[in-house]
Chain A
Amino acid sequence: DQQVKQNSPSLSVQEGRISILNCDYTNSMFDYFLWYKKYPAEGPTFLISISSIKDKNEDGRFTVFLNKSAKHLSLHIVPSQPGDSAVYFCAARDNYGQNFVFGPGTRLSVLP
């Protein structure tokens, strides 16, 4: 039973356009959400996070939106660059056990 879902295994976007990666969760005890980026043969690296008390957090080209009522979050990358091509993992932390649960990932390809 996946608590964090990323229903799109892959996404292709043209360079300069917006990339939107989606994530859904089922556990209402999650209070902190993160996005990680992973290149081949490397470990995941932290990208951006959002607390459950906010609905938006922005850092340069990256913005994360949280819709608690829908248990949905999304990562927007504007403008997309070829170097953004990677696997993106959505993660959530529960406020009880402090465990981090990851989604299965979405592979983003930004085409030049």
Chain B
Amino acid sequence: DARVTQTPRDKVTEMGQEVTMRCQPILGHNTVFWYRQTMMQGLELLAYFRNRAPLDDSGMPKDRFSAEMPDATLATLKIQPSEPRDSAVYFCASGREIGELFFGEGSRLTVL
């Protein structure tokens, strides 16, 4: 049963600490998206990749966030330094050139 895998599921950290979230897309999918769920904005796009190349990261605060795909089986989203306003659920999704996106179960981040 193919699915997108995200780790960690839950992360509690203190302000100023580095946080790294990982995502394993579904094998064969060539697009990967990072979204953040907030109460007001719903699913907010942070970054997305096609064939491991970053296509759009305009939704990401560049000074503290970074997204990479070291290889086709791993996407990472890093926050350094983290701030309380970064507390949210972060979703990774993968897909093909056409068709729907498949989402992971999310990483819930709490920054104290």
Chain B proximity of A91: nearest CB distance (Å): 8
Assess the A44–B4 pair: CB atoms within 8 A.
no
Question: What is the number of residues of chain B that contact chain A, defined by CB distance less than 8 Å?
Answer: 23
* Residue B104, interface by CB 8 Å: yes
Tell me the A57-112 residues at the B interface (CB within 8 Å). Answer: 89, 91, 97-105
Chain B proximity of A6: nearest CB distance (Å): 8
Question: What is the number of residues of chain A that contact chain B, defined by CB distance less than 8 Å?
Answer: 21
The dominant DSSP class at the B interface is strand
Tell me the B63-102 residues at the A interface (CB within 8 Å). Answer: 91, 93, 97, 100-102
Assess the B103–A43 pair: CB atoms within 8 A.
yes
In the complex, A111→B45 CA distance in Å? Answer: 33
Selected contact of B41 from candidates A42, A44, A45, A104, CB within 8 Å? A104
Assess the A43–B56 pair: CB atoms within 8 A.
no
